[in-house]
Amino acid sequence: AQSVAQPEDQVNVAEGNPLTVKCTYSVSGNPYLFWYVQYPNRGLQFLLKYITGDNLVKGSYGFEAEFNKSQTSFHLKKPSALVSDSALYFCAVRDNAGGTSYGKLTFGQGTILTVHP
Amino acid sequence: GAGVSQSPSNKVTEKGKDVELRCDPISGHTALYWYRQSLGQGLEFLIYFQGNSAPDKSGLPSDRFSAERTGGSVSTLTIQRTQQEDSAVYLCASSYRDRVSYEQYFGPGTRLTVT
């Protein structure tokens, strides 16, 4: 079975400071990892993904994430936070091991990011 | 281009009634997914469709839930004899193919409230 953990329910950061939202995962095969953002009363928006290759992936709105296989982590980062980055962030994983879990995304519980002016 | 659309955006229903939620995926996307988002359970997978293959229904919480996809495009999620615990936001997503590398694009959701 695949699972995702986001250990922090909330992250608070001052505008202009770097931010990190943590994610760890568990899969039986190779992981395919995704980050999504959700603004109030909106659906989820895709930010970035790791499939293979370079461990540092870059995505929308200046976000990036680092895949670390030994630590089974995929933390979301941004060098300089904006107030407009305040939202709910979800990490998700898909397992390429096949079987009934092949299609679905398994999500973490979400992390509320608040960027203070 | 047009994204995933869902209707209605909000639905209030009485306990015991049936409801239908609709999803229009992005044109050309062959894979379609339903998820449920609630405070206590987070984001849960419900069901997914890929082309003409049998759907993966492994996430449906009970036999009161069913879904169909007509013509490989529009999908309807039906909840029979609704219960208060069915109250949640129901999200639909589509992707270009059912490949693990393809990201899913989500609609705005339908907020279901069962009174």
Nearest to B112 by CA among B32, B38, B16: B38
- For all residues of chain B together, what is the average pLDDT? 91
C-alpha span between A98 and A13 (Å, rounded): 39
Chain A CB contacts of B100 under 8 Å are 32, 51, 94-96, 102
C-alpha span between B49 and B115 (Å, rounded): 30
Beta strands in A60-109 (DSSP E): 64-68, 73-78, 87-95, 106-107
Closest CB from A42, A104, A109 relative to B33: A104
Mean local confidence (pLDDT), B92-113: 86
Q: Residue A34 has what pLDDT?
A: 95
Q: Give every strand in the sheet of B65-69, ordered side by side.
A: B5-7, B19-24, B75-79, B65-69
Helices (H) and strands (E) in chain B, counts: 0, 10
Question: Are B98 and A102 inside 8 Å of each other by CB?
Answer: yes
pLDDT at A91 > cutoff 90: yes
Hey, what are B45's tokens?
């997978």
Q: How many CB pairs under 8 A join A and B?
A: 56
